[in-house]
Amino acid sequence: MEFDKAIFGDINLEKLKDLRNPFVEQIVDKYVKLCRPSKVTLITDSDEDIAYLKQKAIDDKEETPLKIVGHTIHFDGYYDQARDKENTKILIPKGETLSKYMNTADRDDSLEEIMGLLDGIMADREMLVSFFCLGPANSRFSIPSLQLTDSAYVAHSESILYRPGYGEFKNLNGSDNFFHFIHSSGKLDENKNSKNIDKRRIYMDIKEERVFSVNTQYAGNSVGLKKLALRLAINRANKEEWLCEHMLIMGAKPEGKDRTTYFAGAFPSACGKTSTAMIPGQLILGDDIAYIRKSNDGRAYAVNVEQGIFGIIEDVNPIDDPVIYKTITTPRELIVSNILVKDEIPYWLGMGKELPSNGVNFSGEWSLGNTDNEGKEILPAHKNARYTVRISELDNSDPKLHDPEGVPLSGIIYGGRDSDINPPVLQSLNWTHGVFVGATLESETTAATIGKQGVRKHNPMANLDFLVVNLGTYISNHLKFGESLEHLPLIFSTNYFLKDDEKFLNDKTDKKVWLMWMEGRVHNDYNAIKTPIGYIPLYDDVRSLFSHLFDKTLSEELYERLFSLRTEKLLSRMDRMEKIYGEEADIPQAIFDEINTQKERLLKAKSKYNKDIISPFDFD
């Protein structure tokens, strides 16, 4: 294949040819001819190439250095601050359908549209061709990924968030077993932001395992290897019978015991995912995406797809998030986005200090009281502002972060949010019941959603937004995966948000008690009470944990309020689930069986104890 030396140069052509991969060459050739950049630069795993990315992001004014060494600020356009769900679509051939939850588009029509948008979009720009690895290097879990972009900010962000992959592509030996992503910010305005956001498109072509993203800079839309690659991997996992999940991975370390017990956990937004991953004294491997496979010893092992965190910075402060706060306020490679800057010092909402009344933010020059074109007051920093940093920079980073074998999972946690139904911690009765617990996960909307507070949203496995296979297929894969294991992880649920008289019954820190109880259950340290919905802790066990961990006394009265079964509300949930799953095709019968048997158990208990709310002390 012949390439234009004037565009590539000898060094970049040599990097391309050294891969000895005709599929990579075909992709690069195709999009160079379509997008027509004036220059193409290949980024390998070398320090020199990564340094080039960092400097280019600054030279192109996509990032600006801050006072702390290694920190830079990036601003997205005012109307380009979050994932564009409406224009994020799964491309499917004519005649095929997916679950009603999924935003789909005709594949042929959409490819024609996206190719038209990409035509000449990089004229007078530089195309950066980067190579990454989803998962640790030299691992059976991992998927090489190729990124083409005209944004140095995007490529720089990915170099922090993902492991280098040029060497992994060499190891492919000419195979096409990789994902690829094509991104362009499109035309830029005077602030170097995407101008044509009305033509913002994020299209996932499952058939060819590729993603297109145009006319956007916000990382959730433009960094293809994150939630966009998650969709591609979910599709592959459900074909190959492993799990690709929207899950944290952490190591629980009980005080006084020389062991680390690994958990994965799925939590919908605002349900405690990050705070669980960052419980003091524990180890973090990842806060977002996990690949889970069966190993030769018959156990489930997990790896973090990423090596970094693209985290929400709002409310990160020295009291609630001391480890993260220390990390993002000391010298290291770090990108912050869409916050307030004054005198090269960054400020964000909820950081624990007073913010200046003026500076530069995502709207440009900003002063207190500024409004946008719609008359809405502009906050000093965006509520979806982010920080990008490597996990290895955190003091509580697990030493097994890059282990190619992954870590053995002993537990899986599904964390929901409701004010009056689920107890704060619960263990499922078995694997099938645990899959059912995940499949019936709900979360209440919060006060941040105007006029919709307290509305329960169904979000199976906290992964509904990212599914590209039918819900029935996805749930069936979980059931089959468990059947393949000889040593099953225990499955738990958590709910940190129980209320009484509109006041939370738990403190923020109490989740450490529930984690330590789950960890102890894995090792048979604690007995439990069997209820119609699963196993709950004994009073003496959690009382002892509160005393040991926090020097706090848990009263019998509070324990009873936390762990009583609210049978009417639980039965109403089963009615909701029966209706939801009754409208879906190909849902495994096991889910309907679990709904029916849980109903029967609840009705039997209600009749036996002759009350709607059953105390944990009532159970035999």
Report whether pLDDT(446) > 60.
no
Closest CA to 203 of 187, 177, 221, 178: 221
Question: What stretch of H or E contains 569?
Answer: helix 567-582
How does pLDDT run across 528-557, given as a tens digit for each residue? 999 999 999 999 999 999 999 999 999 999
Amino acid identity of residue 239, one-letter, is K
**pTM of structure:** 0.95
Question: Alpha-carbon distance 191 to 344, whole Å?
Answer: 18
> In DSSP terms, which residues pair with 386 in a beta bridge?
312, 337
> Which pLDDT band, with edges at 50, 70 and 90, does 448 fall under?
very low
Neighbours of 109 (CB within 10 A): 11
Query: pLDDT tens digits, residue range 473-502?
Result: 999 999 999 999 999 999 999 999 999 888
pLDDT tens digits, one per residue of 560-598? 999 999 999 999 999 999 999 999 989 999 999 999 999
Task: Note whether 250 and 516 are within 8 A (CB).
Answer: no
Mean pLDDT of 95-102: 86
pLDDT of residue 453: 58
> If you average pLDDT over residues 177-192, what whole number do you get?
95
Output the six-digit token pair for 43. Answer: 């980024």
Q: Per-residue DSSP letters for 101-129?
A: TS-EEEHHHHHHHHHHHHTTTTTTSEEEE
Residue 449 pLDDT greater than 80, yes or no = no
pLDDT band at 195 (very low <50, low <70, confident <90, very high): very high
- Per-residue pLDDT band for 295 (boundaries 50, 70, 90) equals very high
Which residue bears the tokens 């964000």? 348
Range 104-110 contact pairs with CB under 8 angstroms and sequence separation of 24 or more: 105/203, 107/205, 107/207, 110/203
CB contact set of 177 (below 8 Å; sequence gap of 6+): 143, 144
Angle, vertex CA 413, rays to CA 411 and CA 417, nearest 5: 165
271 is an active site residue: yes
Q: pLDDT over 70 for what percent of the chain? A: 99
Render the burial of 69-90: b for 16+ CB within 10 Å, e for the rest. Answer: eebbbbbbbbbbbebbeebbbb
Within 10 angstroms of residue 240's Cβ, the number of other Cβ atoms is 10
Q: What is the pLDDT of residue 447?
A: 44
Residue 451 has pLDDT above 50, yes or no: no
CA separation for the pair 478, 572 (Å, rounded): 25
Give pLDDT, residue 258: 94
The three-point CA angle 244-250-226 to 5° equals 40
What are the C-alpha distances in Å from 547 to residues 57, 335, 497, 564? 51, 40, 21, 21
| pLDDT, tens only, 140-168 | 999 999 999 999 999 999 999 999 999 99
Please give the share of the chain, as a percent, with pLDDT higher than 90.
91
Distance (Å, whole) CA 436 – CA 269: 20
Tell me what pLDDT residue 450 has.
39
Place of tokens 């195979």: 175
Q: What are the pLDDT digits (tens) for 108-146?
A: 999 999 999 999 999 999 999 999 999 999 999 999 999
How far apart, in Å, are the Cα atoms of 75 and each of 64, 217, 341, 363, 430? 9, 9, 11, 9, 48
* Averaged pLDDT of the chain: 95
Averaged pLDDT for residues 26-45 = 98
Contacts of 16 (CB under 8 A, 6+ apart): 3, 8, 24, 25, 28, 42, 129
Give the start-end residues of each E strand in 140-178: 143-149, 163-164
Q: What is the average pLDDT across 429-458?
A: 80
Position 454 scores a pLDDT of: 67
Give the HSE-up count for residue 65: Cα atoms under 13 Å, Cβ half-sphere: 11
One of 35, 133, 244, 271 is an active-site residue; which one?
Answer: 271
Query: How many CA atoms lie within 13 Å of 568's alpha carbon, on the beta-carbon side?
Result: 5
Domains of the chain by range and CATH? 5-60+81-240 (3.40.449.10), 244-307+401-618 (3.90.228.20), 310-393 (no CATH)
What lies within 8 Å, CB to CB, of 464 at 6+ separation is 101, 458, 471
Q: What is the pLDDT of residues 233-249, one digit of tens each?
A: 999 999 999 999 999 99
- Answer yes or no: are the C-beta atoms of 415 and 495 closer than 8 Å: yes
Query: pLDDT tens for residues 348-374?
Result: 999 999 999 999 999 999 999 999 999
Q: What is the average pLDDT across 45-73?
A: 97
Tell me what pLDDT residue 362 has.
Answer: 95
User: What mean pLDDT comes out for the span 183-212?
Assistant: 95
